[in-house]
Amino acid sequence: MRRHLWSLTAASAALATTIALSGCGGAEESSDEVTLRLIAADYDVNGGQSSRNYWSSLIAAFEKEHPRIDVEVTIESWTDVDRKVARLVEDGKAPDIAQIGSYADYAADGKLYSADQLLSVPVQSNFLRPLVEAGEQRRIQYGLPFATSSRLLFYNKELFAEAGVTEPPKTWAELKDAAQQIKDGTDAAYPFALPLGPEEAQIESMLWLLGGGTNGYVEPGGSYTVDSPQNAATFEWLKTDLVGAGLTGPGAPGELNRKEAYAAFTRGEVGMLHGHPSLLKQAKKAGIELGKAPVPGRDGTAKITAGVADWIMGFNQNGNRDEIGEFLNFLFTDENVLDFAAQNDLLPVTSSASQAMEEDPDHDDLKDFLAQMSTALLPPVSKTSWAAVSGDVKEKIGKAVGPGGDPAKVLGEIAQTAAEAETREGEEE
């Protein structure tokens, strides 16, 4: 869930709302005052103040309930936050809490508290199961899911009607046929948007790999299978049947980012794409009548869809375990989880908040996304090697479907990166 925004620093502000929740373990609070340092990512896609306001309001409510604990928050853009936290950790100045894109390296280096050291049993057991599994190393949870989303096939209903497409496609063959009808029967510039650029190529690719019948980048046991024959066949189909047939755009897939693909969809130039919940409001605001359906697969609707998560974690360097736990238990109340998800067009990370959102008619548009999260598969984020593999996918995967591209060769190169990174990962354990 990458965003390209600006950075700001936020201190806590006043709020007349309080929420009471006891911390983990039932330990007695010390009378000593403690200041927690929190670094968080900016989710405001419009460059506004929503992330600052969320944290300021939450922190004010927390501090009113826990007067001996102060929380100082710094909000950084997604382009900077992971790098800045890594630098602080390297310099021996780790924050107490970080809300960023990955946790695996810090967990492997023994720099994090585990979930059971921080959270009450009811809070820890309330996370959605796929997110718990993605947050574990050696069956111990270190990464606490902060925000999540899934993907659906979005389509322009007006273009479908104009082209004579009566139903959303369930198979790749039907998707190709629908794209061809849009190309032949409408003025739409791009029947299908395929963003394999560096912003989020690893997720777009995973959607196709899952639709091709594999588990994506790894086998169930955990070893990388990037260049499996099935995965190569998936990208061969994309190269020949979709890209080679002139059914994609705008621009070359390897240069197209999600942001630009979504913008083209809201201009009415794109017939279909894989959509994030945030696109719902964007399309409605632009007057696009949007339809949504499960992601098609080679032989039918994909059995598993890709999930995406961002993480929050407690660093153990400063020894403020009890105070970090108090804050995180407070953070994961239904009210706070729902507030953040609703503000940012994301999905709740807990079962109870997900159920509350599903039952709320104001969130009817998100029910299809919510239904997928109980079985969604996340990229192998628990592997410290994933950062290198993900980076290689972002850099190279677009070449697999470009002119003269060789999917098997490109996937083989990524697999080599994966093997080398996994070897280093094993040596470091």
The DSSP annotation for 195-263 comes to --STTTHHHHHHHHHHHTTS-TTB-TTS-B-TT-HHHHHHHHHIIIIIITTT-B-SS-GGG--HHHHHH
CB count, 10 Å around CB of 111? Answer: 17
Q: Kindly state the tokens that stand for 311.
A: 């993480």
Element (DSSP H or E) covering residue 330: helix 321-331
pLDDT for 226 = 96
The verdict on whether omega for the bond into residue 250 sits within 30 degrees of 0, i.e. cis, is yes
pLDDT for 427 = 61
> With helix as H, strand as E and coil as C, how does 290-308 read?
EEEECCCECCCCCCCCEEE
Q: Among 4-13, 46-55, 176-185, where is mean pLDDT lowest?
A: 4-13
Beta strands in 14-156 (DSSP E): 34-41, 69-76, 97-100, 136-137, 140-141, 144-150, 152-156
Cα(162)–Cα(301) distance, rounded to whole angstroms? 24
CA torsion angle for 214, 220, 224, 230 (degrees, to 10)? -20
Mean pLDDT of the chain: 90
DSSP 207-226: HHHHHTTS-TTB-TTS-B-T
DSSP 45-79: TTSSSHHHHHHHHHHHHHHHHSTTEEEEEEEE-TT
304/27: higher pLDDT: 304
CB 413 within 8 Å of CB 242: no
- pLDDT reading at 423 higher than 90: no
Cα(111)–Cα(104) distance, rounded to whole angstroms? 10
- pLDDT reading at 193 higher than 70: yes
Position 64 confidence tier, pLDDT thresholds 50, 70, 90: very high
Position 340 confidence tier, pLDDT thresholds 50, 70, 90: very high
- CATH homologous superfamily of 152-305+383-428 equals Periplasmic binding protein-like II (3.40.190.10)
pLDDT digit string, tens, across residues 271-318: 999 999 989 989 999 999 999 999 999 999 888 889 999 999 999 999
Token pair 């995973």 is found at 206
> Boundaries of CATH 3.40.190.10 in the chain?
8-149+308-373, 152-305+383-428
- Please, how many CA atoms are within 13 Å of residue 14, restricted to the half-sphere of its CB? 1
Domain at 8-149+308-373: CATH code: 3.40.190.10
- Please, how many CA atoms are within 13 Å of residue 2, restricted to the half-sphere of its CB? 17
Q: ∠ CA(297), CA(302), CA(304), 5° rounding?
A: 150
| Sheet with strand 8-10: strands edge to edge | 8-10, 69-76, 34-41, 97-100, 307-314, 144-150
pLDDT digit string, tens, across residues 343-400: 888 999 999 999 999 999 999 999 999 998 888 899 999 999 998 999 999 999 999 9
Put residue 222 in one of left, alpha, beta given phi > 0 → left and psi -120 to 50 → alpha: left
- pLDDT reading at 336 higher than 80: yes
The pTM for the full model equals: 0.85
Where does residue 251 rank: exposed (0-12), middle (13-18), buried (19+ CB within 10 A)? middle
Position 48 confidence tier, pLDDT thresholds 50, 70, 90: low
Q: Kindly state the tokens that stand for 324.
A: 């970090």
pLDDT for 49 = 83
CB 350 within 8 Å of CB 128: yes
